[in-house]
Structure 1
Amino acid sequence: MTSAPGRRSSTFTRLLRQGFTDPSAAERFLDMPAVAPIRADPLLLDALGATADPDLALRGLVRLAEAHERPEERRVLLDTLITAKPLRDRLLGVLGASEALGDHLARHPEDWRVLATYESADLHPGIAEFEHELAGVEDAVELRVAYRRCLLAIAARDVCGTTTVTEAAAELADLATATLRAALGLACAAAPEDAAACRLAVIAMGKCGGRELNYISDVDVIFVGEPPEGARDVDENTALRAATRLASHLMRICSETTVEGAIWPVDANLRPEGRNGPLVRTLSSHLAYYERWAKTWEFQALLKARPVAGDAALGTAYEDAVAPLVWQAAERDHFVPDVQEMRRRVIDQIPVGQAERELKLGPGGLRDVEFAVQLLQLVHGRSDASLRSGTTLDALRALAAGGYVGRTDAAQLDEAYRFLRTVEHRIQLYRLRRTHLMPDEDHDLRRLGRSIGLRTDPVAELTREWKRYTAVVRRLHEKLFYRPLLDAVAQLAPGEIRLSAKAAGQRLEALGYADPVAALRHLEALSSGVTRKAAIQRTLLPVLLGWFADSADPDAGLLGFRKVSDALGKTPWYLRLLRDEGAAAENLARVLSAGRLAPDLLLRAPEAVALLGDPEGLKPRGRAGLEQEIIAAVARSDAAEGAVASARGMRRRELFRTAAADIIGSYGTEENPVEADRGALVDRVGGALSDLNAATIAGAVRAAVRERWGDTLPTRFAVIGMGRFGGHELTYGSDADVLFVHEPWDGVDEHEAAVAASALVTEVRRLLQVPTADPPLLIDADLRPEGKSGPIVRTLASYRAYYRRWSLVWESQALLRAEPVAGDPGLGERFVELIDPLRYPERGLSDDDVREIRRLKARMETERLPRGTDPNLHTKLGRGGLSDVEWTVQLIQMRHGHEVPGLRTTRTRGALAAARDAGLISPQDAATLDEAWVLATRVRGGAMLVRGRPGDTFPSESRDLAAVGRYLGYGPGRVGEMLDDYLRTTRRARAVMEEVFYGYEAP
């Protein structure tokens, strides 16, 4: 007795170390006579410590031992437990994870023996083995006992890791199948006359049909009944009544609670018309319903339909008959949005406060994986039979193998799904209750964490892993389930998804491809073979063909796609981007088929495709960010030419970004199919191109200064943007109109400064025009004082002297758009201070100034308009075109800029809005001029995008003209309407211009 405290203290410490939360109670249990023989066995204590809940396992073991009333039976149990490790691990593992199965063993103590065997046949039993275990049961009570005995063995393999979570789920489904067969057998035995009067097939649905059943779950079924074959004396109604009685009895046998509890509810609510429809229908009645009345979700549910019990031939006939309907479901109107909306409704119906704990239905839960996989199956499985599995992870593997899902995405989803299903299994196993909620008590979380192998800090580790996997599922669900490509694929006819050569040629011709033979060669080159790349191309191309066909030049779009694909063929991210990321594939199709400029830019740097998959990728960068990046690239280059080559390469990328955003914006978005404010799109393009040129010039200046003069030029130097450049209104083919100004540093000789400034300008212009694959940036300095005859760069003092003595009114007008764009910011500000009194004169304009401006405008119209050009269709100099609007606005600016601050802007539209707000032009006239200016600007931009070269008129070639029409929002066959709209808009603008500009009388 004196040694007891020491021994007790030692045992207490060991139990605590083994994971017991109540070592004192554990000691008391170990002192009980029923388990005394095993108290000192260290292997047993180690085995208890390895369970999910050692305290629960020990209590269950004591109850099991005490349930053996005969000492010799108890001795056999304990001796086997000590000597047989497989039994020890299985039995204690179950007792530590499931209170409910511990209760079962306490009621049926001899059932421990099903865990004693450890043979290969015992590891993966199927339906036949389970049927054998259930054979001979005579009533519902015996069926429950036999079912729990089988469940005990499944749980033991599961918690010991002998089977994976998917194997355990398949075993549970097979056990459910055997149970349904046994229950049907009991029902038939109870009513042999009904059994003789009908054929009844039981179709498993849901997780049972997919062989991925939970421990506790409704078993979803559909019943199909027919008269017996060859039985002329049994009509259909009699057979259906008999089948309904058998089906109802089967459901009661499984669902009703007895002294041994229930097995699981049998749920037949997935049948046609749900609980309002007949429990049993004939095969023809099922088909009639599905063909006429079924909703989208019903076909999604049928994906997992599998005959499991009853008349096998009838079950197979049902499966064969509904399968074509399942794989046609994606062709229904609004199929993809319907499935997506159904998933959103499921989330919305989760009770408040439970969504974050829902393993199954909540965001990032099991249902997100299942819905994403099922949607992909239903869309792509029409043409690919390898995807037609009712088992989620099998289908996911097939989707990955076929290239419909990225391998990394599939692996992450697989891992997350297995984790979530394992956690769900362990939660349900504890009390064999149907629940999908994560527990909120620490002791439950601790047992749950330990049950899946987390031992250091089970609660924290479980919570961390759960959140991590939920985030993975949530992200990939959004990516896959709401993939824009899906809806487009779903809208294709089945024959369009996998095209034979003949079918492809016919479809290409029907879609408007001018050279179907060449197009077919491109398709074959892209999609032939058994590589993963070819498989993904076969998924993409049917949709892309339709998007190309929605342009004026489908052939060019397909050719461009082949060139980009050839260039990026070995780049792993390219096809994955098109398949997975947002609207990348559609964006690429739009860009490639919209004309020559954007594809040419892209083909010089195909990696720019990545911009099309990033929601932020098409937004303008802004001057500060661009200049910072270009200056950094210049700093990394050793020579000026290499530095400016880097800068021009960045400019090419940004030109593509701008052009792509322009093209895609002209198609609109899902939320805004046709952009209402075309002016905003014009402003974005003009601003982006102006910022880009400014940043490129700044980079060229920095490179030239660094190479020849080191860190500091002998003079301050600034570049002043003029014309559309200074007005932030550049189009793709515009030159950069500039003035150059310098100011010697204190102590620097003026001649030295002038020589340096002139050399810098020459070098900058040369560097920006060195022949490369990148578009050149042409600098035009002809707006400088004295034009081409004057020095290309002047000091600030020289500009001041010239403007004070020699400046003409047209030069003041040109300065309305002057804005510093590069170089010394202080010098640029002083230049602006110098010219403001000239462009916004305090006393406005004299009568002579107004007459001179009008004379210059009239002379420009007659002398500068190209010979043979229709003056009504020339966007710049034509009637109601850009020049009409700009000269009108500029006249108002020079007249009233001094007293109206809003007019002091280099932007045409901004000045026009300020004039309207100040009452200097009526709102209606301002709107007319603005509409014409925006339209003319878009026509110029569209022509450049389509032809790849600048121009001020509509293209003459019909396909190019149609492409400009598509850019402007005019579909096929509407070119005439486009030209009529342009003429009408510019005619109204010309009328306003003649009234406001030529009718403007100076006071």
Structure 2
Amino acid sequence: MSSKMQYSLEQVQQWSPFVEQKIQRFPELLEQAHWQELWAEGELYQRVYQQIMNAVDEEELKTLLRQIRNWQMGRIAIRDLSGLASLQEVMLTMSDLADALVTSALDWHYERLCLRYGTPYGRESGLQQKMLVIGMGKLGGQELNFSSDIDLIFAYPEGGETRLDEYSNAKRTITNDLFFTRLGQALNKSLTETTGDGFVYRVDMRLRPFGDAGPLAVTFASLEHYYELHGRAWERYALVKARVMAGDATDAKYMFDILRPFIYRRYVDFSAMDSLRELKQMIAAQVKKKGMKHNIKLGPGGIREIEFIAQAFQLVHGGRDKTLQSRSLLTTLQVLEDNNFLEEESHQDLRSAYVFLRRAENRLQEWRDQQTHSLPSEPHQQLMLANSMGFSEYSEFMVVLSKHLEFVQGQFNEVFAEDEVCESQDRLSELWLSDLEDVGDLSDQNLPVDKAAHFLKVLRDFKDSRTIKILSREGALRLNATMPLLMQEVLKPEYSEQSLTRVLSVIEAIAKRSVYLVMLKENPESLAHLVKLCDVSAWLTEMLVKYPALLDQLLDERTLYAPLEASALQHEALALLDSTGQDEELFMNQIREWRHAQVFKVAAADITGHLPVTKVSDYLTWIAEAVLNATVEFAWQMMQERSGLPGGMTEANKRNPFMVLGYGKVGGIELGYGSDLDIVFVYEGLNSSDQAVSLKGKSLDNAIYFVRMGQKIISLMTTLMPSGVLYEVDTRLRPNGVSGMMVVDFEGYKNYLENKAWTWESQAFVRVRAVVGDAESVAAFEVFKTQFLCKERSIESLRTEVVDMRLRMQNELDKSNDELFDLKQGRGGIVDIEFMVQFLVLAYAHQYPNLSVFSDNLRILEAIAEAKLLSLQEVDGLLEAYKVYRSKYHRVALQKEKYLVASTCYQVQREVVQSVWNKLMLG
């Protein structure tokens, strides 16, 4: 900020009789040294706090509080009106002043009440108790306006009673409840009493639990109990900006951890929109009743409407998106633009309107230090207001003000708009509320009689289900508002009959969490996406029934059909570690919800044609890799905390030596929907017999250390949580199978493969990749993989064993018959191609090392073509067959069908595969 004044002190006094009065009371304010420079962060707070804590008695405390408040308010007004201070500075300084005045008064009284009654201690914790003062509204957001009253709530951690010590004058103890009630009364008296120096603040305590009828100070447990049982929508709205302005920081964090679930729902909460509409309607009625049309806070397009816009998005989406859990309105508006909730232009215009209105609000209040938001009616004050805002005439000011108000009102109406009910929706609403027996009620839908009858029967069965019959009144009202919209969508000609049944299974699953019904009602696009996805996929329908939180994904088409790439997936999955810390249950639930959401987006993009089928496995494999990386890192941190670093490792050379080797589909980058993970755990670079030592001095062999880490990873992934399991995991491909160690050291793993592995295990190794591991471990694995695959083998012996194994699998697993073909195990199917690829790698990699580079069949086949081990025509035929089979594999998975097709399907592809098999494997 420039040190040059924009306006003179004489002009400032013209614009503010309050400043003129303060300069008369405090002549030193005439000196520029007192207000010219911006104070350093925290300087105002420290000055005020230290001055007030020096008060020797209550009378001096009252005097100091008021005189310091008046002097500082004079300084702030001069900086604001002269153009030295930005709006942000004024709001923050006003808030810092309130913090300092309230905290110092609180601490002053606390010390003296401890002398008088003893020091309060918690009944359960045995810890000393202190009171928290929660600042609400603009004070909570550190956006206090010039002459605002302050809304406060008093809370303390727990009940108990005071303890007497050598310094206290008390004869007997009192309860914490009584102690903090008296502390709150003393604090309020110091702030609100009017003396010759005025008052400090008007204090409003009506936002506390039960309002004026409730206790003045409440325990954390009472707060939690109140909001759980009695909390109303407007209280959620109020708590968005709540901030502990005085009290212990640790207690404050603990308290907000309790309150956050009430403020921010874990799901996207569109019920908040209706609640905010009702609140706004109440305020609008109040404004109209009191004739406050020219009120720049509460009137149309005023400050309150900008706050409602921001806080609507916060309450709806803040539980899912923590970046929206900000107390600052300007910060929230920026996040809304960053997250595409607001267009850039809308954000800039809302920001400009907010700054203009808040500056005008401060100018109105700086006139005589009065809490007013109404434009002046007296011509001289109107001119002074205009001049202070940079306009030569009041009419010019009003033109700009009106433009801002009009824009804000338009934005508000857009955000809180309710779609008009069309005539067809009215008819469908009547139909839904009827007995659903008369086929004629669907006459305008151009449905054949049999289809109309089926439609009504499905609706009747749904309506008669126990879930729907026992809905609460609120749930039933929300369902009745949503069903006509859903029926209108499902009846569109492009949807099949099964779509209604599938969609209703989702509606039945979410009916008791009726906020999702509100979401669908509020977002017609989401409803359209729901019907579309259910229509094309039984698997997606089942996902939505199992995990209703996935409905959140329907809100934004840009992300719904645009799954994340590998690097973004890794970043998001690892970010969950920061948000969950070492809370195991929280981590397990959040990573499951995250994984389900990512897979859902891949499936949605797949079945709607937004994602080529050849890329589906890539995305599904990347998701699994991201999950494995995050899960291994969580287990690694947990093991270090419990058992210290592994033996042979110090802080100086610390690294995570744990490696996850992916076999099968995850190794071959070919995961499908619902695939389990074939994985093997190894650790590299450490001796198995070295000892890890915990902070408590307990020692543990590395071998046991990493077995426990492996067990923890399995537990983290497979434990059944409310959000399901992460993946089914198969570790039987480890050395010695189920009888072998869960985790082996890398040297032992290599020794097993080189000296004890069966041919089928060598085949499986062709598709192995290190999917988790640091650079050092992965490099060591890649060297070994190349060496192992490039060993010279007896081609005829190898061919015989591979063919024998294939015949055994076919006899046991092939479900083909005269009518059906097994895509995977049938002759000429997927496994035939895989076995030929594995044979060629093991037989010829010593001659053609490029065969050992990749783990996925498609790129290995390309390497086979380069090596001319098969003709180009043969390789092209195998590639085409493999892609066709894999594509069908994904399709049947999405329809919850078995991997069997009619025996007449894929005759050309099957003949190509069998021809190559006969030539290569049978000679």
TM-score of the pair, normalised by structure 2 = 0.47
Structure label with greater radius of gyration: 1
| Superposition TM-score, scaled by structure 1 size | 0.44
